Amino acid sequence: MSSLQTIASEFRYSAIQLPPETIVFGRTEPMRALRDRLEKVAALNLPVLVEGESGTGKDIIARMLHQRSPWASGIFVKVRCSCIPDSLDDLLDPSNGILAFKRNAAPEPVPTCHGTLFLDEISETSAALQTKMLPLLQDGQFCCISMKGSKLNLRVICATNSGLEDAAERGSFRRDLLYRINVLTLRVPPLRERFVDIPDLMDYFVGVFNSTYQRQVEVPSKRTMQSLLSYSWPGNIRELENSTKRYVLFGCEEALCNELPSRGGKQVAPEPSAAGAIPLKQLTKNAVREVERQAILRVLQANHWNRRRAAIALNISYRALLYKLKDAGMTAGALPEQSCAANRTANRAVA
């Protein structure tokens, strides 16, 4: 078997199981916008830059782009840029294995191999490597003659967790390389901008890990879920996934909740009265109210303070949202100024 045929057999997309679209894109407006943009750019033979914090799922978005592209039946090659040697010899020569080519493969000519090249964390490439990548990325495609006329012709998708424009301003990333890879951009929101999706993500991960580890752990209780919703999740979906894995393996909700504040999350602690008594019912009501207030604020922010869209994202009526805002003391005057303009626009659209 030729080296390029070996790649095709090892990197074909169908061998990779992705989460359902409802889990990937969730319920929020930013994720719906991401899905719509992904659908539009997938079929275009142009490079795509996927931006987002670590752990937001940029790899999943790249694979979905490949799945929806005309090259879906071709190969999907993922390369961690920090692992590419500055010489680029390994990247050019399939026999060396950097793209998981088989070593000592027979050097027989094969037809051009099409597909997708995913360069993960492109910002981690050195200056020397950036210079050598320029001639390989022709019009945003990776083209190289590898062995006896064998040719790789791959659509390029790059991912970064840092602003390449700022890096170009600082001189740590070549601007001419940025122009070649940044024709189309997809931004993946952090989990704190779509925390309304946390219950669905948690439910999905519990099911996956129950199946993987032959467990029968139930989805966490509402009380535990409220703690999860009040945590900022700096590690994004990857952190939630790892926390869920530990929860499934050990089956302890208390441990799941206790580890969150130690990593920077917020915790609603009971406050005893002056007489030392702790009115549990009132404290519980106040804690739930605070968590609900934080949830509403985050959804409003994620939806650019548009209350009608926020109500849809929260799966409640618009009137119910207005009541909760009033109950929490969040009147229109207490919300950011942009909320007024956003809601006037929404009202005109409805009218």
For residues 185 and 201, membership in a common domain is answered with no
pLDDT given for residue 340 in this prediction = 46
In tens, the pLDDT along 302-351 reads 777 788 888 888 888 888 888 887 766 555 544 554 444 444 454 444 44
For residues 34 and 168, membership in a common domain is answered with yes
Domain count, the chain: 3
In sign, the C-alpha dihedral spanning 158, 160, 166, 172 is negative
Q: Which of 137, 162, 189 is the last residue of a domain?
A: 189
pLDDT given for residue 210 in this prediction = 95
283: pLDDT confidence band, cut at 50, 70 and 90?
Answer: low
| Residue 272 covered by a domain | no
Bridge partners (DSSP) listed for residue 113: 152
For residues 185 and 196, membership in a common domain is answered with no
DSSP 7: H
For residues 64 and 154, membership in a common domain is answered with yes
For residues 146 and 228, membership in a common domain is answered with no
For the cut 90, the answer to whether the pLDDT of residue 136 exceeds it is: no
Q: Which of 157, 189, 221 is the last residue of a domain?
A: 189
For the cut 70, the answer to whether the pLDDT of residue 188 exceeds it is: yes
pLDDT given for residue 321 in this prediction = 86
For residues 71 and 196, membership in a common domain is answered with no
| Residue 162 covered by a domain | yes
pLDDT given for residue 108 in this prediction = 43
For residues 199 and 230, membership in a common domain is answered with yes
pLDDT given for residue 277 in this prediction = 54
pLDDT given for residue 268 in this prediction = 45
For residues 78 and 170, membership in a common domain is answered with yes
87: pLDDT confidence band, cut at 50, 70 and 90?
Answer: low
For residues 101 and 137, membership in a common domain is answered with yes
| Residue 273 covered by a domain | no
pLDDT given for residue 332 in this prediction = 53
Domain that holds residue 208: 192-263
For residues 202 and 184, membership in a common domain is answered with no
- Mean pLDDT score across all residues of the chain: 76
Query: In degrees to the nearest 10, what's the CA dihedral of 39, 45, 46, 49?
Result: 50
| Residue 275 covered by a domain | no
For the cut 70, the answer to whether the pLDDT of residue 269 exceeds it is: no
107: pLDDT confidence band, cut at 50, 70 and 90?
Answer: very low
**Strand residues in the chain grouped as ranges (E):** 48-51, 75-80, 113-120, 137-138, 141-145, 151-160, 184-187
Distance between CA atoms of residues 182 and 301, nearest Å? 27
**Strand residues in 96-180 grouped as ranges (E):** 113-120, 137-138, 141-145, 151-160
| Residue 237 covered by a domain | yes
In tens, the pLDDT along 45-78 reads 899 999 999 999 999 999 999 999 998 988 888 8
CATH number for the domain that contains residue 139: 3.40.50.300
Residue with the bigger pLDDT between 143 and 227: it is 227
pLDDT given for residue 329 in this prediction = 55
Q: Which of 131, 160, 189 is the last residue of a domain?
A: 189
In tens, the pLDDT along 139-154 reads 666 766 554 455 667 8
For the cut 80, the answer to whether the pLDDT of residue 127 exceeds it is: yes
- From the DSSP assignment, how many helices (H) and strands (E) are in the chain? 16, 7
Q: How many CB atoms lie within 10 A of CB 191?
A: 24
| Residue 92 covered by a domain | yes
| Residue 269 covered by a domain | no
CATH number for the domain that contains residue 205: 1.10.8.60
Pairing of the two strands 141-145 and 151-160 = antiparallel
pLDDT given for residue 113 in this prediction = 65
CB of 41 within 8 A of CB of 184? yes
